[in-house]
Structure 1
Amino acid sequence: MKFSPPIKATVIGSFPHTEAEAALRLIMEYVPQIPAWPQLPFYPEEQMLRQYLEGMPGLFTKEGNKIFFDTSHPRFEAELFGFYQNYLNALESPRIPFDHPLGISPRYSRGFYSFYRKLEQGSYRPLALKGQITGPITLATALTDQNGKSVYYDLQLREVVVKALTIKAKWQIHQLRVFGVPIIIFIDEPSLSAYGSSAFLGVTEGEVKNDLTEIIEQIHLEQGIAGIHCCENTDWSILLKTNLDILSFDAYSFFDRLILYASELKDFIARGGVLAWGIIPTGNEDDIKRETIDSLVRRWREYLNTLEERLGVAPNDIARQSLITPSCGMGSLTPELAKRVLELLRGVSELLQREYFNG
Structure 2
Amino acid sequence: MSQDNPSSRFQANGLATLIGSLPVADAGEAFSLIFAHTPDIPLWPQLPSNPKEGMLSQFSEGMPGIVEEGERTYFDIQTETFADEMLAYFEQYLAALEDPSLLPDSPFAVSPDRAQGLFALKEAVAGKTVAAVKGQMTGPFTLLTGLHDREGRAAYYEPTIREMVVKGLSLKAAWQVQVLAASQAPVILFIDEPALAGLGSSAFLSVSLDELGQELNEIIGAAQGAGGLVGIHVCANTDWEFLLATSLDIVSFDAYGFFDKLAACKDALYAFLERGGIIAWGIVPTSEKEYIERETAESLLARWEAQAAQLVGGAWDYKSLLQQTLITPSCGTGSLSLTHAKKVLALTRDLSKLLRDKYL
For 1:8, what is the secondary structure of its paired residue?
coil
Does structure 1 residue 353 correspond to structure 2 residue 356?
A: yes
Question: Where do residues 202-241 of structure 1 align in structure 2 (5 Å cutoff)?
Answer: 202-241=206-245
Q: Distance in 1 between matches of 2:76 and 2:136?
A: 27
Does structure 1 residue 318 correspond to structure 2 residue 321?
A: yes
Q: Distance in 1 between matches of 2:159 and 2:194?
A: 21
Q: Distance in 2 between matches of 1:112 and 1:77?
A: 32
Q: Distance in 2 between matches of 1:214 and 1:146?
A: 29
Q: Distance in 1 between matches of 2:14 and 2:323?
A: 7
Question: Where do residues 169-208 of structure 1 align in structure 2 (5 Å cutoff)?
Answer: 169-208=173-212
Identity, % of aligned positions: 44
Does structure 1 residue 118 correspond to structure 2 residue 124?
A: yes
Which residue in the other structure is 2:67 paired with?
60
Which of 276, 280, 283 aligns to 1:276? It is 280
- Two-structure CA RMSD over aligned residues (Å): 1.4
Which residue in the other structure is 1:36 paired with?
43
Which residue in the other structure is 1:163 paired with?
167
How far does residue 337 in structure 1 lie from its aligned partner after superposition? Answer: 1.2
For 1:95, what is the secondary structure of its paired residue?
helix
Q: Distance in 1 between matches of 2:16 and 2:42?
A: 9
Which of 229, 244, 247 aligns to 1:243? It is 247
Query: Which runs of no fewer than 5 residues in structure 1 stay unpaired?
Result: none
Which residue in the other structure is 1:327 paired with?
330
How far does residue 72 in structure 1 lie from its aligned partner after superposition? Answer: 0.8
1:305–1:96 Cα change, 3 Å: farther
How far does residue 295 in structure 1 lie from its aligned partner after superposition? Answer: 0.2
Which residue in the other structure is 2:97 paired with?
91
Letter in 1 for 2:179: Q
Q: Distance in 1 between matches of 2:234 and 2:263?
A: 15
1:11-64 Cα shifts (integer Å, max 9, x gaps): 1101111111111111112111111100011111101121101110012235x6
1:213-267 Cα shifts (integer Å, max 9, x gaps): 0011111211210101101001101100001000000001100111111110111
Letter in 1 for 2:167: K
Letter in 1 for 2:65: G
1:15–1:258 Cα change, 3 Å: same
Which of 14, 18, 26 aligns to 1:11? It is 18
Maintained 8 Å contact 1:95/1:174: no
Letter in 2 for 1:340: K
How far does residue 78 in structure 1 lie from its aligned partner after superposition? Answer: 1.3
Which residue in the other structure is 2:52 paired with?
45
Which of 265, 269, 282 aligns to 1:261? It is 265
Letter in 2 for 1:169: A
Letter in 1 for 2:22: F
Maintained 8 Å contact 1:96/1:171: no
Q: Distance in 2 between matches of 1:248 and 1:331?
A: 17
Q: Distance in 2 between matches of 1:231 and 1:319?
A: 21
Maintained 8 Å contact 1:99/1:105: no
For 1:145, what is the secondary structure of its paired residue?
coil
Maintained 8 Å contact 1:4/1:274: no
Letter in 1 for 2:109: G
Q: Distance in 2 between matches of 1:189 and 1:112?
A: 19
Q: Distance in 2 between matches of 1:50 and 1:137?
A: 15
Letter in 2 for 1:7: G
Q: Distance in 2 between matches of 1:100 and 1:32?
A: 32
Question: Relative to structure 2, which stretch is displaced further, 240-249 or 313-322?
Answer: 313-322
Q: Distance in 2 between matches of 1:60 and 1:178?
A: 32
Maintained 8 Å contact 2:193/2:232: yes
Which residue in the other structure is 1:79 paired with?
85
1:125–1:312 Cα change, 3 Å: closer
For 1:144, what is the secondary structure of its paired residue?
coil
Q: Distance in 2 between matches of 1:51 and 1:200?
A: 24
Paired residue total: 353
Which residue in the other structure is 2:4 paired with?
none
Letter in 2 for 1:60: V
Which residue in the other structure is 2:30 paired with?
23
Query: Which runs of no fewer than 5 residues in structure 2 stay unpaired?
Result: 2-7
Q: Distance in 1 between matches of 2:177 and 2:72?
A: 30
How far does residue 83 in structure 1 lie from its aligned partner after superposition? Answer: 1.3
Does structure 1 residue 308 correspond to structure 2 residue 315?
A: no
Maintained 8 Å contact 2:280/2:325: yes
How far does residue 312 in structure 1 lie from its aligned partner after superposition? Answer: 5.8
Q: Distance in 2 between matches of 1:223 and 1:79?
A: 30
1:97–1:194 Cα change, 3 Å: closer
Question: Where do residues 147-162 of structure 1 align in structure 2 (5 Å cutoff)?
Answer: 147-162=151-166
How far does residue 82 in structure 1 lie from its aligned partner after superposition? Answer: 1.8
TM-score, normalised via structure 1 length: 0.95
